[in-house]
Amino acid sequence: QKEVEQDPGPLSVPEGAIVSLNCTYSNSAFQYFMWYRQYSRKGPELLMYTYSSGNKEDGRFTAQVDKSSKYISLFIRDSQPSDSATYLCAMSLTGFQKLVFGTGTRLLVSP
C-alpha cells in the first residue's frame, strides 16, 4: 500500500463546475498537508497548506483535512480553463521537509 493514494484521473469538468480532488493516506503521524498545482512542462507550485485538521479557504480554493479518516480534499469553485493542470497532494511530519507526494490528479476544465 502506498503511503499516499490519489486518483490519477483525468477528471473532466465544464467551466464553472465545482471540482473535488481527494487523497487518502496511511501514516497517522502526518501533520502538514499541502496541495500543489503542476502545469504541463512546469514544476509544482504550492496552492495551499494546512496544519492538522480543519478547513482553509483561499479565494476559489478550499482545503479540508479529516485526520480521523486520513482523508484530505481540495475544492475548486467556479472552475476555469486555466485551472487545467495536475494537482498533487503532499504531506509531511514536519512542515515542508520530507514531503510525501501523491501521484497527482489531472484536471481538465473545458470552456
Q: Which of 19, 35, 72, 102 binds other proteins (CB under 8 A)?
A: 102
Interface with other proteins, residue 44, by CB under 8 A: yes
CA distance 55 to 27: 20
Interface with other proteins, residue 77, by CB under 8 A: no
Tell me which H or E stretch contains 76.
strand 71-76
Interface with other proteins, residue 57, by CB under 8 A: no
Pairing mode of beta strands 71-76, 19-25: antiparallel
CA distance 43 to 2: 23
Q: Which of 1, 28, 29, 41 binds other proteins (CB under 8 A)?
A: 41
Interface with other proteins, residue 71, by CB under 8 A: no
